[in-house]
C-alpha cells in the first residue's frame, strides 16, 4: 500500500510499505477514505524528529471502511464506516473505567514514561504505524473506533478522530461560567472548534486571537470576536482592558510548543534538532524547553480565580512559569491529551444534525490526494494559500 513516511526534518515521502494485517484478536483493518494533517504532525515535521526513524508511517486523524476484524471484535463488521481516535485505549483497564482513555494502562508506553499509545506519533508513544495511508491496522478495535452514519461527507465525521473532541475537552476544562467570557489563543483547527464549541456550550462572549488573516476571517464568520495579535503591543493587557478591566473568565491555549514570538525557545529547539538522535533524545526529554509566549500571555490575561485550559501540545521539562503570579491570582490549570472516546457520544448527534451547529463543514480548506502529502505538509507549516486544514484522500 501507499503511505506517508518520515525521513528527516521537513522530509516526508509517499512510499510503498507492507499492507497491515490482523495480528491480535482485537485488531481491525480499516481502508482509509480520508485522513487529515494535524498541527501536532508539524511537531514531527520539525522538532520531534529525534524520536522517529526513517520509514515511520505518520498520521493520527483517519476514518474509513472496516475491511476485516479479528475474532475478538464483535461490535464491528466489514463494511462499517468508522472514525479512528488518535489514542489507542482498551476501554476496560483502571484508567479507562474512569474515562481517562489517554492514560490507558493497557497501551501505556511505560518504557518512555508516557501515556496511552498513539497512532503515527514517535517512539515516545509506541511507534504505532499511522493513518496517512491506504490501510490502517487498528489495535483494540473492540473499543476504539467510532461507528458513524453511512451517509454524509467524510468531513462531517472525520474530526471526531482528534481535533473536535480535543476542542470539546478544552472547553469543558475551561469551565467558562454561563454567559461568561472565553478567550482562545490560536485559531488553527483546534482553536476554531474551541471558539465555536464555547459559544455552543453557553459562553456569552468568545474572543479568538491569532495573526493569520484567513484564520481570523474564518472565526469572524462563525460569530467570534477576534483580535489580531500582530497589531497589539501588550496582548494580556488588551484582553484585560477588553473584559471589564478584569480579564476573561477562562482562556484556552490552543497553540502549544511552537508559538510565534519565542526567540530563545525557537533557538533551543533548533539547536536540539541539529544534534545526533542519541544526544538530542535525552536533551529534549530531560531539559527540553518550549516556546512559551502564548502560555504566559494566557496566564497573565485570565481573570483572578479564572481557568487556563491547555490543548496545545507541550514537550518541555524545564519550562519557566510565573508561579508567584499564578499563585497570587489563584489561576487554575487543566490540560492533557484528549480522552477522545469520553466525548464522542456527546458530539456525534451534533454532527448528524442538518444545521451543522459546530460548522464542521467549514474548516477544511484543502482536500488533496495522498500523493500530494509532502506538498501539503509544507503548505500547512508555512500557512500558505489560505491553508487552515488539509484532508488527504488515499
pLDDT tens readout for residues 300-332: 999 999 999 999 999 888 888 999 999 999 999
- As beta bridge partners, residue 225 has 207
Q: Euclidean distance between the first and final Cα of the chain, in Å?
A: 10
Average pLDDT of the segment spanning 279-294 = 64
Q: How many CB atoms lie within 10 A of CB 203?
A: 25
pLDDT of 271: 46
- DSSP for 304-324, written as a single string: TT-EEEE-S----SS----HH
pLDDT of 266: 47
The residue ranking higher by pLDDT, 276 or 202, is 202
> Which residues contact residue 330 at a Cβ distance below 8 angstroms, ignoring those fewer than 6 apart?
304, 305
Q: How many CB atoms lie within 10 A of CB 184?
A: 37
Closest CA to 259 of 296, 293, 301: 293
What is the DSSP secondary structure assignment for residue 176, as one 8-state letter? Answer: P
pLDDT tens by residue, 175-218:
999 999 999 999 999 999 999 999 999 999 999 999 999 999 99
Per domain, the residue ranges of the chain are: 2-162+339-392, 164-335
pLDDT tens by residue, 221-267:
999 999 999 999 999 999 999 999 999 999 999 998 876 555 444 44
The CATH number for 2-162+339-392, chosen from 3.30.420.110, 3.90.180.10, 3.30.460.80, 3.10.129.10, is: 3.90.180.10
Closest CA to 359 of 207, 208, 199: 199
Q: How many CB atoms lie within 10 A of CB 327?
A: 9
Q: How many CB atoms lie within 10 A of CB 167?
A: 29
pTM (two decimals): 0.92
pLDDT of 137: 98
- Distance in angstroms (rounded) separating the CA atoms of residues 161 and 118: 11
CATH code of domain 164-335: 3.40.50.720
pLDDT of 287: 47
CA 140 to the chain's CA centroid: 21
pLDDT tens by residue, 81-97:
999 999 999 999 999 99
pLDDT tens by residue, 11-70:
999 999 999 999 999 999 999 999 999 999 998 998 788 899 999 999 999 999 999 999
What is the DSSP secondary structure assignment for residue 360, as one 8-state letter? Answer: T
SS3 366: strand
Amino acid at each position: 500500500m501507499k503511505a506517508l513516511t518520515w525521513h528527516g526534518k521537513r522530509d516526508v515521502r509517499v512510499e510503498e510499505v507492507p499492507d497491515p494485517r490482523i495480528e491480535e484478536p482485537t485488531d481491525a483493518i480499516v481502508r482509509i477514505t480520508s485522513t487529515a494533517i494535524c498541527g501536532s504532525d508539524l511537531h514531527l515535521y520539525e522538532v520531534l524528529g529525534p524520536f522517529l526513524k526513517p520509514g515511520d508511517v505518520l498520521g493520527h486523524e483517519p476514518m474509513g471502511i472496516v475491511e476485516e476484524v479479528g475474532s475478538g471484535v464483535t461490535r464491528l463488521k466489514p463494511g462499517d464506516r468508522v472514525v479512528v481516535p488518535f489514542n489507542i485505549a482498551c476501554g476496560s483497564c483502571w484508567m479507562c473505567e474512569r474515562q481517562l482513555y489517554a492514560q490507558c494502562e493497557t497501551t501505556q508506553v511505560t518504557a518512555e514514561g508516557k501515556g496511552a499509545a498513539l497512532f503515527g506519533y514517535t517512539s515516545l508513544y509506541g511507534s504505532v504505524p499511522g493513518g496517512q495511508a491506504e490501510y490502517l491496522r487498528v489495535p483494540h478495535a473492540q473499543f476504539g473506533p467510532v461507528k458513524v452514519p453511512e451517509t454524509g461527507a467524510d468531513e462531517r465525521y472525520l474530526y471526531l478522530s482528534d481535533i473536535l473532541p480535543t476542542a470539546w475537552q478544552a472547553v469543558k476544562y475551561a469551565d467558562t461560567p454561563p454567559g461568561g467570557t472565553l478567550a482562545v489563543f490560536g485559531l488553527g483547527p483546534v482553536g476554531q472548534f474551541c471558539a465555536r464549541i464555547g459559544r455552543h456550550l453557553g459562553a456569552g462572549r468568545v474572543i479568538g486571537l491569532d495573526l493569520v488573516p484567513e484564520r481570523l476571517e474564518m472565526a469572524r464568520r462563525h460569530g467570534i470576536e477576534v483580535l489580531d495579535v500582530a497589531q497589539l503591543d501588550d496582548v494580556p493587557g488588551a484582553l484585560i482592558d477588553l473584559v471589564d478591566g478584569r480579564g476573561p473568565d477562562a482562556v484556552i491555549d490552543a497553540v502549544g510548543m511552537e508559538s510565534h514570538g519565542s526567540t530563545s525557545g525557537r533557538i533551543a529547539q533548533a539547536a536540539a534538532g541539529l544534534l545526533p538522535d542519541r544526544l538530542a533524545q535525552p536533551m529534549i526529554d530531560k531539559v527540553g524547553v518550549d516556546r512559551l509566549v502564548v502560555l504566559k500571555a494566557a496566564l497573565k490575561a485570565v481573570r483572578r480565580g479564572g481557568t487556563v485550559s491547555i490543548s496545545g501540545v507541550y514537550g518541555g521539562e524545564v519550562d519557566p512559569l510565573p508561579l508567584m503570579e499564578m499563585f497570587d491570582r489563584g489561576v487554575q490549570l487543566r490540560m492533557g491529551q484528549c480522552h477522545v472516546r469520553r466525548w464522542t457520544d456527546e458530539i456525534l448527534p451534533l454532527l448528524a444534525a442538518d444545521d451543522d451547529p459546530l460548522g464542521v463543514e467549514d474548516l477544511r480548506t484543502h482536500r488533496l490526494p495522498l500523493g500530494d502529502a509532502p506538498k501539503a505538509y509544507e503548505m500547512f507549516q508555512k500557512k500558505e494559500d489560505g491553508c487552515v486544514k488539509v484532508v488527504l484522500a488515499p
